[in-house]
Chains A and B, each alone.
Chain A
């Protein structure tokens, strides 16, 4: 099962003003995360940060001893997007997380890469194929349960680390349509970067006010953030090497700290859950990991039965 689990800060899914992004990643320098994923995964129109800005941030974070991975766009359509993707893949300095087969196609002739959560890797045959092309880490799809993962891990892929999204709103779907622009009643071509007004996405609820999804431009995320803090034992048992925490505007330093402490066995689980409760009064979900609907929450007391 290897050593201690590592913590990764996933790629920022939202569109924050440039200065906010700079300040955020300045803070990250002092956080106890081992890996930082940088780059735009959701929308090619978001250009507050260009590749040079990302690389500059990468250099700064790398200097603090963190491993840096550059993430690529999940839905790649236009030729201009392909060129941007090629530049990232051939940056020559940092490992890249492929979120579309286009990136795998470029990276398989370059260097080792990370299989992102937006590639559909559901079985050992596919993982083996990608490992043969140079994958040295894979991030499980959001739907992956502990038992699905255990079955894959039986085919021990030497040199391939396993990462699971352990905290944050789950990336559930991508579209050609921008739902934030649609909500604002403006066309996608002239979106005025409305997503910048929603630094943690835009809440989508049922007509009974149940939080269902989170609108984030062309992406839909889960309404409730996923939280696997109380599942550390089964994550360890499944051979998970890396826990991914997704950036959010508020409380991120605390979330990182809580997971860091939990990995090192310093904080009682109930106490940490209580701390997180104040950050998200709507609650959390962990259903996928438990083999059921993703939105479901299995409270720790029931799970221990």
Chain B
């Protein structure tokens, strides 16, 4: 039996308790953001003050885990300094890596802090060899997170030739669109992941109880209508029920989560450097449970990927934490093709 290199498990934290839950659950690295629009999960009450990051770094390092700071939104001319200050903060805190997307900001970081480790965020939207090479050659980016639009064969092919480490999403909410190039949210609400770090912002959501059942609107736009007793999810625009060709359906994607539990050995043999868990907006309990399941699954693969089978209990745990209590392989799988 050959020894396989087990990918790093990279987990989300929207708060210090979530960071601790991730580290305790077995994360190799935890990623987090500052409390402003410099990161792609800019929600009220979420994310970190500088002092919290210091405490988080201390907690993580004592337990051999790393801390990555996500500065993965696109600065605009009016607020450029907020983003460069965030890079300065990252360098000052000596985080293990900064996750970025904007070429201008990457350029600032590499010029000012040549030893700062840079990862290309999924928001950087690099889906092919030349794009990855661009970020490697110009900014010395050492790792890229692939958008969730590639099939397993494509992931495999890219890793074979990629000039840097590749990280892929393993679990969590599924972006159907290529990340970093989706403006559905700002079309309806004025705020998007690229510019404000939010998708379908909570302040635009309105629930209504009607005689026909529950309805949910985003800035006045009817996203979904639920039958009595039907479970209702968060109204992201890509997972609503709309009319196309006169029938009301999930025209873009069902509310479901990505889970790679079933294909972990394939991803490992493809050579992924890291598996990322989505969900900085989730509770510490969620982060802890997902981290524990993936830790066990990865460790099992490490012992013997050939005989690896996900335990039913793992799948059950993850499905309970998933949108619509169901999971998908998304673009990694043939049904999308």
- 14 CB contacts below 8 A, A to B, read A75-B149, A77-B150, A105-B137, A123-B75, A125-B103, A147-B78, A174-B178, A177-B336, A183-B244, A183-B245, A187-B337, A206-B221, A210-B222, A287-B190
Q: B127's contact among A75, A206, A209, by CB below 8 Å, is which?
A: A75
B331 partner residues in chain A, CB cutoff 8 A: 176-177
Establish whether residues A120 and B245, one from each chain, have CB atoms under 8 Å apart when the complex forms: no
Residues of B near A204 (CB, < 8 A) are 242-244, 251
A77–B154 contact, CB under 8 A? yes
> Which A residue's beta carbon lies closest to that of B138?
A129
Give min CB distance, B290 to chain A, whole Å. 24
- Chain A interface (Cβ within 8 Å of chain B)? 74-79, 81-82, 85, 100-106, 118, 120, 122-130, 141-143, 147-148, 151-152, 154-155, 170, 172-177, 179, 182-183, 187-189, 202-210, 212-213, 215, 220, 222, 287-288, 291-295
Residues of A with C-beta under 8 A to B103 = 125-126, 129-130
Contacting residues, chain A, for B337 (C-beta < 8 A): 176, 187-189
B77 at the A interface (CB under 8 A) = yes
Mask: chain B, 116-138; 1 = CB below 8 Å from A; 0 = not: 00000000011111110111011
Q: Is the CB of B186 within 8 A of A143?
A: yes
Q: Is the CB of B241 within 8 A of A215?
A: no
Give the complex CA separation of A108 and B291 in angstroms.
42
Report the bound CA distance from A130 to B74 in whole Å. Answer: 15
| B77, B102, B219, most chain A CB atoms within 10 A | B77
Contact of A172 among B135, B157, B184, B253 (CB under 8 A): B184
Size bracket, chain B contacts: 35 or more
**Interface centre among B177, B184, B187, B251, by most A CB within 10 Å?**
B187
User: Pick the contact of A102 from B131, B187, B244, B335 — CB < 8 Å?
Assistant: B131
Q: How many A-B contacts at CB < 8 Å in the complex?
A: 211
Which residue in chain A gives the minimum CB-CB distance to B151? A176
Taking A129-B103, A187-B335 as contacts, is the C-beta distance between A105 and B133 under 8 angstroms? yes
B252 adjacent to A220 (CB under 8 Å): yes
Report the minimal beta-carbon distance from B17 to chain A, rounded to whole angstroms.
33
Give the shortest distance, in Å, between A246 (CB) and chain B (any CB): 15
Q: List chain B residues, Cβ under 8 A from A182.
A: 251
Residues of B within 8 A of A177 (CB): 176, 252-253, 331, 336
Interface of chain B residues 144 through 188 with chain A (CB within 8 A)? 148-151, 154, 157, 176-178, 180-184, 186-188
B residues near A123, Cβ cutoff 8 Å: 74-77, 80, 102, 104
Which of the residues B74, B107, B131, B149 comes within 8 Å of A129, measured between beta carbons?
Answer: B107
Interface residues of B in 305-337 (CB under 8 A from A): 331, 335-337
4 A-B pairs with least C-beta separation: A125-B104, A151-B77, A102-B130, A126-B104
Chain B min CB distance to A225 (Å): 13
